[in-house]
Copies of this chain bind each other. A is one copy, B any other.
Amino acid sequence: MPKTIRDVARALNLSITTVSRALDGYDDVAESTRQLVLSKAHEMGYSPNRAARQLRRQTSETIGFILPATVQRIADPFFMEFIAGLGDELAASRYDLLIANATSEEMERELYERWIEGHKVDGFILNLTRLSDWRVQFLSGLGIPFASLERSNDSADSPSVHVDGMQAYADLVNHMREKGFHRFAFIGGHEDLVNHVNRQAWFEQAVCQAGMGLDPAQVVLSDLTFMGGYDSAKNLLSLSQPPDAILCIDDETALGALRAAHEIGLEIGTKIGIAGFGGTLAASHAEPSLTTLDIPIYEIARDLVRLLLARVKKATPGERTINILPNLQVRSSTGG
């Protein structure tokens, strides 16, 4: 049987009120009493009953993360690191992580509604944010706290972690130009995805600033999958003026492009340069190994939790953004 606050109170001949206050760090408890309570509680292995506390406080001390229905479930190499980061940082604050993966957008909406309605979570973590994002509108409208990886245009004042890849893209393009590549192409994702919009913009800016031209036909959309990258690269490489450098929105896409170039018989790293984004293990294991812009997913997840909890606990609507700089990893696929 788990210990209750009553057990601790009884053992010390105190009221449960005092025990509760001592444990929660109120300052109107005598320091000596507090020490007594703290050590006794620890000794007895007491930890407050979550359900009781939640019922009384009307909070759940739980954060929700719902994997969007739009993502290819099976293929996301970031997922595990992301979850690990969320879980670790939450655990440090004794919060729980509630997870679900939505298989349809309808189910996704239902999950948000159910978790909110049932007071199951105090806030949400959002990823794969879109410029126009119904989740952001929905949560903002209800005043539910959330923190997002990249900001939607719809979020008035929510905290977020932002990947700032401008310099990294400039580094990458310069590196590839030094290696002799000069006709640059970009394979992106969905045009409403903030990640897509940002990365494409950084790509275009870097190419232009390096003094090279940009053919609109060389900037294409794909779907963040291996097969999508493969198909897009095949198309690009069969143009009358094919690119000799292909930058991709993520590593999966780039691995598909790698395969396409390989099939066509192009010598990768010399005749054609290919780079990804993300810094997955798969990129370093590819043959040839894939140049990429590395981002610390685990740390990003922890940052998101920190921002969210600050918001949840203090309910101060102050916007905050953490910037993350990707790191260029030069490998064989760009002749590095």
Report A's interface with B, CB cutoff 8 A.
2, 45, 47, 49-52, 54-55, 60, 67, 73-76, 79-81, 83-84, 87-88, 91, 96-101, 103, 111, 114, 117-120, 226, 255-256, 259, 262, 281-282, 285, 287
Contact = CB atoms under 8 A, between A and B. Distances in A.
Which has the most chain B C-beta neighbours within 10 Å: A49, A101, A259, A285?
A285
A281 B75 contact: yes
Given A45-B117, A117-B45, A285-B259, A87 B99 contact: yes
B88 A101 contact: yes
Pick the 9 closest A-B CB pairs, nearest first. Answer: A51-B54, A51-B55, A79-B80, A84-B101, A51-B51, A87-B100, A226-B285, A52-B55, A47-B118
Contact of A55 (B55, B75, B285): B55
Contacts of A79: 79-80, 83
Contact of A2 (B47, B99, B118): B118
A74 B117 CA distance: 34
Contacts of A84: 67, 73, 101
B87 A80 contact: no
Contact of A49 (B97, B118, B226): B118
A83 B83 contact: yes
Given A2-B119, A287-B262, A55 B47 contact: no
A73 B2 CA distance: 32
A50 B120 contact: yes
Contacts of A97: 98-100
Contacts of A2: 117-119
Contacts of A60: 50-51
10 contacts: A2-B117, A47-B114, A49-B55, A50-B60, A52-B55, A74-B281, A80-B80, A255-B285, A259-B287, A287-B287
B101 A87 contact: yes
A256 B282 CA distance: 11
A50 to B, nearest CB: 6
Contacts of A54: 50-51
Nearest to A59: B51
Contact of A50 (B81, B119, B282): B119
Given A2-B118, A75-B281, A79-B83, 10 more contacts: A2-B119, A47-B117, A49-B119, A51-B54, A76-B80, A79-B80, A83-B83, A91-B100, A97-B100, A226-B285
Contacts of A255: 285
Nearest to A96: B98
A86 to B, nearest CB: 9
Nearest to A297: B74
Nearest to A280: B74
Nearest to A284: B226
Contacts of A111: 91
Given A73-B80, A80-B79, A81-B74, A88 B103 contact: yes
A54 B260 CA distance: 55
